[in-house]
Structure 1
Amino acid sequence: MTDERPGARSGRGPRRRTVLAAGGLGLGAVSAGAYAVSRGTLAMPVLAGVGEPYPPEQRRAPVPVARTALTSRTKVGPARHVYEVDRRPATFYVTGAFGARLDRWIALHRRHVGQAPDELRSYGAWVGSASATSWHRSGEALDIAGLRAGGRDLTSLRYDQWRDAPAPELRRRLALYWRTAAGLHHEFADVLTYLFDDAHVNHIHVDVGRFGAEQPRLIQRSRAQVQAVQAMCRHVWGRTDVELTGEYDDATRDATTRILEQVGGPGELADSREAWQAFLVATMRRG
């Protein structure tokens, strides 16, 4: 008998977005475009299409599918999947391509954040009752609540549980939250955090659609991406002069350019996918 709990709606679970999109897909333990970090600098990546024009954003809508058309999974990489609502291991249902992308993200997290989770907690993936415009309905979205190992939290994405923590603890949790979010932004173009709206205070939502098989890049008009960059500057890099405006303003541009110079990354953040990846990898590694 299959377990449908990850797809269930709950009073403790999140509300669903209506139009959601995300980024690139690839295979292997880490992205082909990921930067290697050595002696404090970022080595140039091996990335197909370097120097080519940006891939166009897609305007496709999610295609609702039956659960039987999806792949059943119990793990993301080596981490077992646990439904956050009842804290029990559970099957979730996604497309094969989306599952592979999740595996790639958690390998990236293990490599650059340095955590080895044996448990991923979520509010679920496929939801049969979701709106036809939701990526959950197509099996191409996941709401991630946290990563654990050995029965303890590694990174909690439950901002609702610790946002009122004492200042030192809050700083530690925010840094881990945004280092984890950096890895998700490396693999998905749309990553929705607690800054997006109140529906995301207990998880980070990721889904697919915007670039298809292409790697994500910074979209300057994306409030979700720009707010995340600004939060990374503040909470990981200590750039408290950067405000969480959601606008790609001069302070954000200057701070990210300085960070890229510091780690040996190329150009400015909005110049290329390579610069975007370099910033995110450096953020993940900044412990």
Structure 2
Amino acid sequence: MLDPVLGDYARNLPDARESEVLSLFATIINKYKGAMIDDVPRIFEAVFQCTLEMITKNFEDYPEHRLKFFSLLRAIAAHCFPALIRLSSPQLKLVMDSIIWAFRHTERNIAETGLNLLLEMLKNFQKSEFCNQFYRTYFLTIEQEIFAVLTDTFHKPGFKLHVLVLQHLFCLVESGMLTEPLWDIAAVPYPYPNNGIFVREYTIKLLSTSFPNMTGTEVTQFVSGLFDSRTDLSTFKNHIRDFLVQSKEFSAQDNKDLYAEEAAVQREKDRQRMLSIPGLIAPNEIQDEMVDS
């Protein structure tokens, strides 16, 4: 069944390619999981590059293909990760570039799919024998791209996931698991004592460029706080949020999306409290909530 469907998709003109083909293979992989590992290269070859060419020209064309493409990629990452490890360096770069493109997207569900996929990839590579090789290639790029969307004021709904990615990176670099230098040995005139010190310095330079109105001391204190709070997610998240809302770029904006997670928790607490009081919520409203969920 694979070859006729994949061949037809690959040969068709972009407007004739059915997005349901992407959904079909995502569903198959989610159902059969690791049994599909050997088929992933054929799927990749038939749908990956031609679909990317369709969806990355702008943020508007082929909306159905966009989400279904990243859902397929997420299914592969979740259930057939060994197949991704076997990809060539150019193919893996194509995957990573597509994930970065996804979380840059201004459509919330595509950006969130990209960020969740990125987190899964980061965790899987951390546990693999290719940990050093992968992070040496992509650590700094991922950090730079995540800080770019975190600080641009257009991607606030992704704040929770931005924080989780950064926490993962800072915890990893301080864990000692990365035993090879993250810096370019040929370009840096002196060796850093360890990757943690290098990433601190790199992050200070990166954020000093993003926030030119802040003093070097303010940026350095913020970065030190990131490393100090990295093992406590709540403190780490609050530290980043406080930094953002105090910045000139965010101070005059509506920042409710940065507090969306806490607001959702509070709404659920209020709902549970109201449910505990007999008669406060009509039975038909409770029934409607059950249907919606």
The TM-score, its normalising length taken from structure 2, stands at 0.27
Could you tell me the TM-score, scaled by structure 1's length?
0.27
**Which is richer in helix?**
2
Bigger relative CO (Cα 8 Å, ≥ 6 apart): 1
Structure with the higher fraction of residues in strand conformation: 1
